[in-house]
Amino acid sequence: MLNQTRKVLVIGGGAAGNAVTILLRRAGVAVDLIEAQPGWNASAGSGITLQGNALRVLCELGVWEDVEASGFGFDAVGITAPDGTVLHVSEDLRSGGDDLPATVGMQRPQLQRVLMRAVRASGATVRLGVTATSLEQDAHGVDVRFSDGARGRYDLVVAADGLGSGTRSAIGIATKPEPTGMAIWRVAAPRPEGVSRADLAYGGPAYIAGYCPTSATTLYAFVVEAARDRASIPSQSYADEMTRLATAYGGHWPEITAHITDPTQVNYTWFDQMLVEGSWHRGRVVLVGDAAHCCPPTLAQGAALSLEDALVLAELLTGSDTWDDALLQAYYERRIPRVRAVVEASVQIGQWQLDGVRNADVPGLMGRTLAMLTERP
């Protein structure tokens, strides 16, 4: 336990920012959390796949029961032909331990609401629709100016402001996300009777067409293709574009496709990759989650890595009376081998598909990477 009260600013109220806020508050650290979006992203996104190592962190946050009740747990993934014929069903590794399912599918807004409630209950100060406009550091802290005119001084600033992190560039880290060449269409839909696991179809007009149950009544479906110029796809055509690809798939897909009607509910996103090397901090400003790294969702590890970052950083901060460069560098050194392995594997799997490599050892690479994640971060 810290021998004095510290004050931390968390920039960004996504998974990483919410998680580190909850954990620091539990240790008695004063935390201000700011989020640029006035709605705190409470309605953004379709679905999310949380594997065991993510569930392990959610247990540490004290929200597992809410996640379990809101999501859909399963232990297997099916591989199908484009026509829906099931070719293989494999049991997934329970990377979070035997007492947790291998995977929980969940509506992304529901996960956000669960974390929001926990942040509020922690006693953190939350300000929405607010950004940090300047950061001025000295040897003992960071002076911050905010978009609402307020000012504050903090012992540490945690940048959890995502892939396009303005904080990352503000502290002089030039690394930026790069597209991998793939893109994904996503939509939430009612769950057809009989869908009790994730299924993936390879081939057809897309690289992958898949779906994942997210509750007793819902799922999210996705179709992965080669990236197109986003400016060339009118947003009002999103439902038609996803439907055009999805209609080539059988099995449960016709029932799912019938619900792809509202273009505002369809999301189109490029796959990106990024890994900040050397350190994830400058002075008393430190990056977590997508601000430090990102990878394609081919291993469904984006949120899990972000949650793990929050857990490790909070553990180091609350276990030491000295917050200095050595401590923040230790956070990076502890995280980088694991994060690099996941990022590289996720990118490699996608590249094999882009290159049409038919004999690629995708199952082997997935298995080795997920086995590594059974170890605590």
> What pLDDT is stored for residue 126 in this prediction?
98
Give the orientation angle of helix 302-318 with respect to helix 52-60, to 10 degrees: 40
pLDDT at residue 44 is higher than 80: no
- In contact, 141 and 155? CB cutoff 8 Å: yes
Q: Which DSSP helix (H) or strand (E) runs through 234? A: none
Percent of the chain beyond pLDDT 70? 99
**Bridge partner list, 218:** 190
Taking each helix axis as running N to C, give the angle between helix 15-26 and helix 108-122, from 0 to 180 degrees, rounded to the nearest 10.
30
In which band, very low, low, confident or very high, does the pLDDT at 1 lie, cut at 50, 70 and 90?
Answer: very low
Chain-centroid distance of CA 370 in Å reads 16
- pLDDT of 3 > 70? The answer is no
In order of their start, the domains of the chain are 7-45+118-177+272-372 (3.50.50.60)
Residues whose CB falls within 8 Å of the CB of residue 356, separated by 6 or more in sequence, listed in order: none
**pLDDT value, residue 4:** 61
Average pLDDT over residues 129-133: 98
Closest to 70 (Cα-Cα) out of 58, 78, 60, 79: 58
Burial class from Cβ neighbours inside 10 Å (0-12, 13-18, 19+) for residue 358 reads exposed
pLDDT of res. 46: 85
Q: Name beta bridge partners: 202.
A: 208
End-to-end CA gap in the chain: 21
pLDDT given for residue 77 in this prediction: 94
Q: Please give the torsion angle defined by the CA atoms of residues 339, 341, 343 and 348, in that order, rounded to the nearest 10 degrees.
A: 180
Q: Are the C-beta atoms of 199 and 80 separated by less than 8 Å?
A: yes
Whether the per-residue pLDDT at 2 is higher than 80: the answer is no
Confidence of residue 245 (pLDDT cuts 50, 70, 90): very high
Which residues is 282 bridged to in the sheet?
285
Q: What pLDDT, on a 0 to 100 scale, did the predictor assign at position 352?
A: 95
Give which of 306, 304, 282 is closest to 292, Cα–Cα: 306
Across 19-46, average pLDDT: 93
Give SS3 for 266. strand
pLDDT (average), residues 105-110: 95
3-state secondary structure of 283: coil
Express each pLDDT in 51-80 by its tens digit: 999 999 999 999 999 999 999 999 999 999
Task: Give the whole-angstrom CA distance, residue 111 versus residue 229.
Answer: 31
| Interatomic CA distance for residues 253 and 259, integer angstroms | 10
Q: Are 95 and 111 in contact (CB under 8 A)?
A: no
